[in-house]
Structure formats: structure tokens, C-alpha cells
Structure 1
Amino acid sequence: MAKASIVVKKNNGGTIALNKRARHDYFIEEKFEAGLSLQGWEVKSMRAGRMTIVESYITFKNGEAFLFGAQVQPLLSASSHVVPEATRTRKLLLNRREIEKLQGAINQKGYSCVPLACYFKGPRVKLEIALVKGKQLHDKRATEKDRDWQRDKARIFHK
């Protein structure tokens, strides 16, 4: 009698963290995908979903991009010989052309660079970053009014 084999698939894809605040506070001009330079304990924590990028931002120094303010909470079962630092600065892996394009735009008044989402792409951790421009209060109100109208319109035409 043959035994039935049970296949358990690991969830290698999927979102680790979202920055919903960025979509509310900024106009998104252009999106980029960047790799992250991480330590082993950080990847394990991210697989457990213990990352927040809400108050993080991206800066440039010496032609390299860095992620500041992202928190990766260490697991309790983390290695004892490594001292985990939850809010350490992490290097972003981008092409030189992308870095130069982002730096040139950030030097203009009103533009900045923020992370939108962090996710797994195969075995690698990727960060979706965006070139953004700040919204004023009246812009936020207009966006909310437009969103409400789209919702009401969908209800009306659905009947």
C-alpha cells in the first residue's frame, strides 16, 4: 500500500510590510525596486513579519542609498552571539543610473524618497521605493473626496 505524500508549500512570496501612510501623505511620481543588504537574523524576523517601515526614509551618501528608520524586531530565538539592532541603517542595492536619477530629483525642492512596501521575491528581500512629492492639506481632502465619489459611483451603477 503506497503512502500518500503531503506537499507543504512555503510562502516565499508575499508582502512583509506596507507603508500606507506614504500613499496618503505624498504624490507618488515614480517607483523603483531595490534590494536590501541584510543580516541573517533580519531575514528570519522578516519571514515572521516583524518589520515596520512607516516612519522610514531613504538618504544618499557617497553615491549609495541607505534606509533609515525601518524597524526589524528580532525574534526571541535569535542567535545569542549577535547583538541585534532593530533600527540600524540598511544599504539599498540599486543601479548607478537609478541612484543618480533619484539623487537628481531629490535635490529639487519638494521631492523626497520613501519606501512603499517590503516583500520577498524568491529568496531575496526587495523594497519598493518611490520618488514622491508632499501633499498639502487641500490635496489630501481632494483625494479623499474623489475616493468617496468613486465608491458612491460604483454603488449606484452596481444596482
Structure 2
Amino acid sequence: MSITVNKKAFHDYFVEEKYEAGISLEGWEVKAIRAGRMNIKESYVIIKGGELFLIGMHISPLATASTHVSHDPTRTRKLLLHAKEISKLIGKVERAGYALVPLDLHFVRGRIKLEIGLAKGKKQHDKRADELDKDSKREAQRAMKERQR
């Protein structure tokens, strides 16, 4: 079950491979995510010391959250992947000029997972071409719908 999708990532990047990673979260963050109080639109993934970290994901604390814990809505969160997957990603990001982009936040058997994509940036003309394709498909769907009536 998807919690949130980063539509901007699909607009700005060609996503070539997808990986599912766990996230190291605190208790108040899990509660806030379950309540839908997060944003992954401006977030990105970096590699630091052979580990992956999610930067820029904003989680707003609930009003009922504990007052004795200091809440940092945009703290850096560690991503949990197998060592082989991490080494493969490091190789592709450093050599081939790829970027790691968060795509989707979802539940898997009660746990919160982040789908990250190995992606290459789109140029402006690629974005325009994609927009034209979407428009033409939308027009074709409208025409088909009108014919069926």
C-alpha cells in the first residue's frame, strides 16, 4: 500500500532500476507517516562512507507527539539495504553518472519501505517530448470514451 509517490522524480529523471530499502525511523516519525504527514518531493539519496542516507524528507510531528523529545523534521535518515546492493549502487552512481532518487514510500507487512530509483536526469527537450506524449494519449482516451457513448 503506497503512502506517497514522488511524481516529480518521474518528471525530472529516467528511472532505470528500482530498489526497495528500509528506513531507520524514530517512533514519532512512524506515527506521523501513518497519519500522512510527510513529503519526499524535495528529498534525495547520498552515499557516505559506504552507506546510503536520505536527505530532505520532511516529516511533520503530530500535535500529540511527546514534548521531551526534540523533533527534527528534516533530519538525515539512514537507508537499509544489503551490502551487495549498496556496492552495486555505489559503482553505478560514481562511474556512470546516475543519481539515486526516492520514488515511493509504502508499507510492506507493517514496515515502512522506501523505493529508490537509479536514474539519469532528463534534459528540457526530453521533458517536453514526454509532456506531448501524455497529451496525445489523453486526447486518444477522450476520443475513445466519446465513441463509446
TM range (shorter): over 0.9
One of 66, 85, 93 as aligned partner of 1:106: 93
Aligned equivalents of 1:145, 1:30: Cα separation in 2 = 24
Post-superposition shift, 1:148?
1.4
Alignment of 1:10-159 (within 5 A): 14-158=1-145, 159=147
Q: What's the Cα RMSD here?
A: 1.2
Moved more, 45-54 or 100-109: 100-109
Post-superposition shift, 1:44?
0.5
Q: Does the 8 Å contact 1:18/1:52 carry over to 2?
A: no
Structure 1: 5+ residue stretches without partners: 1-13
> CA deviation digits over 1:6-42, x for unaligned, max 9?
xxxxxxxx32222111010111111110001110000
Post-superposition shift, 1:109?
4.8
Q: Greater share of helix residues, 1 or 2?
A: 2
Aligned equivalents of 2:85, 2:124: Cα separation in 1 = 30
Task: Give the partner amino acid of 1:156.
Answer: A
> TM-score, length-normalised on structure 2?
0.92
Aligned equivalents of 1:79, 1:153: Cα separation in 2 = 53
Provide the identity percentage. Answer: 55
Post-superposition shift, 1:100?
1.1
Post-superposition shift, 1:147?
1.2
Moved more, 75-84 or 65-74: 75-84
